[in-house]
Amino acid sequence: MESSCTMQTVLLHLLLLFGNIDATGDERKRYDGYRLYKVFVPDDESLELLTNMQDDDGYHLWLRPMINGTADLMISPTRIQEFMQKVNTTKLEPELMMDNVQKYIDDENPRGNVRGAFDWLGYHRLNTIYNWLDSLVTQHPEIVEGNPGIFIEGGIHAREWISPAVVTYILNELILSDDSRVRYMAESYDWYIFPVFNPDGYEYTHTTNRLWRKTRRPTGRGCYGADPNRNWNFHWAEGGVSRNPCSEIYPGDRPFSETETRTMSQYIDSIQTKIFSYIAFHSYSQLLLIPYGYSNKRVSNYDDLFQIGNYSINALSQRYGTRYKVGNIVDIIYVASGGSMDWVRGTYNIPVTYTYELRDKGRYGFILPASQIIPTAKETLDSLVAMFEQAAKRGYGSSMTAQFRL
């Protein structure tokens, strides 16, 4: 069956852009004895205490705090006693989620080094993903362009392995699925799909540090990388960032300081008149997020996006009962300025813009077992089908979209 997806061209473009990965001689980072706590944040004092920990050696915020919410905090063995003393003198309420983070890393990907056909039973190394993408281009060279475009971004944060896994699964289904609704979606749009936005960082998580988040460009003071989802030139560094180059939320010394964001922004600029939707995949928290991240200002079609989002997360829940929430980034998690979705929406007014925070809610966090790849991918594809069916009913991806964007 011929497909009208343009993804073959785009995937080849990805390989040309991001094909050079620097090898590292660094010793592998281990997390023996590290603990992960889910901490309830009852008041401003607790919020300030946890926020200040994000740049403190030995403390690692997986999920950043908000009042009357929770934070996920990983603590090195050398700081656990100190943390417990702080708990005794504050209103923090910690719940132990992992007593030895390294054990969860060791158990996460049992088939990771098994050679064979590309599948979704394990998390793959970068070259394996690239070779698979190459094979798709060879096996499915047919290209028919001219439909409304959908841009899919995966793997911008290196440690979020479930993101590239889900994006590659979706790509495979768009090409090969015989489900009538998936086929209709695949053949009604042009697809621009980038499974691994941050390739250097992603490969580094496989070779050296499983929990690395940023890019890998040296920044001085012995630090590496910037947060590629804080590095875009739209309300850059206005909130939810750290000026410490060693911080996981360092936005860079200027917008588009990173090769990945700069090159991708140029590519998006070249196709911005062809796309009506931009969907980013992250983990974790089970959320479907609407712009903006720099403030709780609502986009002009927020009500449409909220309604479409609710249809999407309802469809997602049908298969396995997985529950998501939908809403503005600032309203349901935290301030995060300089993100890719904000830039796409704020710069080009692309109307259908969302970010998925995939499974789970913190039991495994970034170390989601490989056994959850296929269930996560299937339910996410269900939600995308519903999303674009509902978007089409509201005129997005049609002549109405062109009018909206003028």
pLDDT per 10-residue tile (average), the chain, 406 residues: 43 45 74 97 91 88 91 97 92 95 94 72 95 87 81 98 98 94 94 95 98 95 95 98 95 98 97 97 99 97 99 99 98 96 98 99 98 98 99 86 43
Bridge pairing between strands 218-220 and 223-224: antiparallel
Distance CA 299, CA 301 (A): 6
Residues 283 and 368 sit within 8 Å (Cβ to Cβ): yes
Is residue 18 assigned to a domain?
no
Residues 293 and 329 sit within 8 Å (Cβ to Cβ): yes
Which residues lie below 8 Å from residue 27, measured CB to CB, with a gap of 6+? Answer: 208
Is residue 191 assigned to a domain?
yes
Residues 90 and 45 sit within 8 Å (Cβ to Cβ): yes
Which residues lie below 8 Å from residue 268, measured CB to CB, with a gap of 6+? Answer: 151, 275, 344, 348
The length of the chain is 406
pLDDT of residue 19: 46
Is residue 72 assigned to a domain?
yes
Which residues lie below 8 Å from residue 346, measured CB to CB, with a gap of 6+? Answer: 234, 235, 291, 292
Distance CA 389, CA 311 (A): 10
Q: What is the CATH number of the domain that holds 332?
A: 3.40.630.10
Residues 61 and 196 in one domain: no
Distance CA 167, CA 145 (A): 21
**Catalytic (active site) residue 357:** yes
CB-CB neighbours of 8 under 10 Å? 21
- Token pair 């590659």 in the structure block, residue: 168
Distance CA 242, CA 223 (A): 13
pLDDT of residue 240: 94
Residues 238 and 387 in one domain: yes
The pair phi, psi for residue 386, each rounded to 5°, is: -65, -40
* DSSP per position, 70-126: EEEEEE-GGGHHHHHHHHHHS--EEEEEES-HHHHHHHH-TTTT--SS--SSSPPPH
Residues 201 and 158 sit within 8 Å (Cβ to Cβ): yes
Residues 242 and 94 in one domain: no
Active site residue: 173, 248, 357, 379, which one?
357
Residues 160 and 280 in one domain: yes
Residues 79 and 225 in one domain: no
Residues 133 and 168 in one domain: yes
Residues 206 and 346 in one domain: yes
Residues 174 and 140 sit within 8 Å (Cβ to Cβ): no
Is residue 116 assigned to a domain?
no
Total domains, the chain: 2
Domain boundary among 74, 107, 140: 107
pLDDT single digits (tens) 101-155: 999 999 998 765 555 679 999 999 999 999 999 898 888 776 667 899 999 999 9
Residues 318 and 238 in one domain: yes
Is residue 369 assigned to a domain?
yes
CA dihedral over 209, 212, 218, 219, signed as positive or negative: negative
- Token pair 């360092």 in the structure block, residue: 250
Residues 130 and 102 in one domain: no
Residues 149 and 138 sit within 8 Å (Cβ to Cβ): no
Least Cα distance to 173 among 382, 369, 403 occurs for 382
Residues 194 and 302 in one domain: yes
- Alpha helices (H) along 124-236: 126-139, 162-176, 180-188, 199-207
Is residue 147 assigned to a domain?
yes
Is residue 270 assigned to a domain?
yes
Residues 95 and 208 in one domain: no
CB-CB neighbours of 98 under 10 Å? 22
Is residue 205 assigned to a domain?
yes
Which residues lie below 8 Å from residue 34, measured CB to CB, with a gap of 6+? Answer: 74, 75, 76, 77, 98, 100, 101, 102
Domain boundary among 51, 79, 107: 107
Cα 184 to Cα 172, 316, 330, 375, distances in angstroms: 15, 18, 34, 22
Q: What is the CATH number of the domain that holds 72?
A: 3.30.70.340
Structure tokens at 363: 């039991």
The pair phi, psi for residue 95, each rounded to 5°, is: -125, 125
pLDDT of residue 220: 79
pTM of the model: 0.93
Q: Domain span at residue 155?
A: 126-394
Residues 186 and 307 in one domain: yes
Domain boundary among 72, 107, 142: 107
